[in-house]
Amino acid sequence: MSPSWLVIGLGNPGPRYDGTRHNVGVDVITELCRRAGEKLSSARGQRAELARTRIGSAGLGAPAANAQAVTLMRSRTYMNESGIAVRKVADFAGITPDHLIVIHDEIDLDPGRLRLKSGGGDNGHNGLKSIRAHLHTGDFIRVRVGVGRPPGRQDPADWVLARVPAKQRADMDVQVALAADAVETIITHGLTAAQNRFNS
């Protein structure tokens, strides 16, 4: 039996943060749920919203002999406490760090670029910092979605917490779809194949 996967999109809860750069990971989870025909629902005692599906050669949610179980996750904690929810869900589902995929915004990548990697530091990202602290390891897979640095002297925190302007939303939606493709490829074909296809 193939091991299960846990895929979390980092972000902050509540409508105030919908559509912000910092919540692009949540946007990717929303897209994966749409493809799978599933909806996130609250998980009692786990401080998270989850959707369970399977993915194989026929895609998300489609029956296939080689399909692997996947839990899609949005934390109900704020970004800097993401590790609390990830640890609870991972422990409950028996997920090991090598089968955890974390999707997050990355200011050191230009908009439109993706970078997939396993392991590494947190690069100042509070969501990653919390997950590393609660799992006691950084050896999980990251899907880094480029949002770029702010122009001029604007505070990076204000930049990532701002909504993506309407004129840039279509481009961001393309990037979200590519990140969702990358997650599917990691699970079905492995990280190296996904890196070769999506790293830019």
Q: How many beta carbons lie within 10 A of that of residue 155, not counting itself?
A: 9
Per-residue model confidence (pLDDT) at position 67: 86
Active site residues: 22
Q: 126: annotated binding-site residue? A: yes
pLDDT per position in the chain (200 positions), as tens?
Answer: 466 999 999 999 999 999 999 999 999 999 999 999 999 999 888 899 999 999 887 777 767 777 899 999 999 999 999 999 999 999 999 999 999 999 999 999 999 999 999 999 988 899 999 999 999 999 999 999 999 998 888 898 999 999 999 999 999 999 999 999 999 999 999 999 999 999 97
Per-residue model confidence (pLDDT) at position 152: 83
Q: How far apart are CA 84 and CA 47, in angstroms?
A: 8
Q: What is the span of the domain harbouring residue 9?
A: 5-198
* Number of domains into which the chain is organized: 1
CATH of residue 110's domain is 3.40.50.1470
Q: What is the pTM of this model?
A: 0.94
The CA–CA distances, whole Å, from 183 to 5, 45, 100, 140 equal 11, 27, 11, 13
What φ, ψ does residue 113 adopt, rounded to 5°? -105, 145
